[in-house]
Amino acid sequence: MVDGLIGIKVGMTQIFDDNGLVVPVTVIKAGPCVVVQKKTAETDGYDAVQLGLVEFIRPSRVNKPRTGHFKKAGVPPCRILREFRGAETPNVGEQILVSQVFKAEDKVDVQGTSKGRGFAGVIKRHHFGGGVASHGSMFHRAPGSIGASAYPSRVLPGMRAAGHMGCETVSVQNLRVVRVQEEENLLLIKGAVPGRNGGYVVIKKA
């Protein structure tokens, strides 16, 4: 079976475990996913399956190459496609449910797109300390020196500075699956995962 699924982050809540302790969890609607393509070492150089998240999408939003891709597989159009590997790869057209991949107490890695924060300064973006806040100081939230004036007389690549923050691919590793609700295809994972509510995430076995 494949080692992961595509999901949608629903939000955060809290549940009680068997000892009566409060556990903060993130609710993810993991799947159902459908196998769109099966890749083999003979044809593609590696073994993997391409999964698509089953959700409604208007046919007018799918371009012609993807329309032919889905028609060849005999599956409805999908908005999100991702590749996964596994020991036993399923056949094209099969549906993969959350209960077939994950169970309680599994360790998983979750990958998502972080929230966009717009243009941010160095203190918010890179956690700079800033200067003193006392009266008379003229150095509060500025980045400080970003290079010498004589040599090399330029700002070196990779210098941490103010700029666009967020909207990046972020991975959180070794999270614990608290509960799997098979009927609703829900995955309850302890802790926070990257992204906004309603954002797409990829859940893989750690």
Tens digits of residue pLDDT in 65-108: 988 988 888 888 888 899 988 666 778 888 888 888 888 889 99
Average pLDDT over residues 124-151: 93
Alpha helices in the chain (DSSP H): 64-73, 98-101, 122-126
Query: If you classify domain 4-116+169-205 with CATH, what class do you get?
Result: alpha beta
Q: Which part of the chain is CATH 3.30.160.810?
A: 4-116+169-205
Is the confidence at residue 1, as pLDDT, over 80?
no
Hey, what are 64's tokens?
């012609």
User: Is 201:9 a contact under the CB 8 Å cutoff?
Assistant: yes
What does the alpha-carbon distance between residue 97 and residue 108 come to, in Å, rounded to a whole number? 16
pLDDT class of 6 with cuts at 50, 70, 90: very high
Q: What is the pLDDT of residue 87?
A: 63
pLDDT surpassing 90 at residue 111? yes
- How do beta strands 4-16 and 22-30 pair? antiparallel
Under the banding of pLDDT at 50, 70 and 90, the label for residue 116 is very high
Q: Are 174 and 133 in contact (CB under 8 A)?
A: no
Write out pLDDT tens, residues 159-203.
999 999 999 999 999 999 999 998 889 999 999 999 999 999 999
pTM of the predicted protein model? 0.84
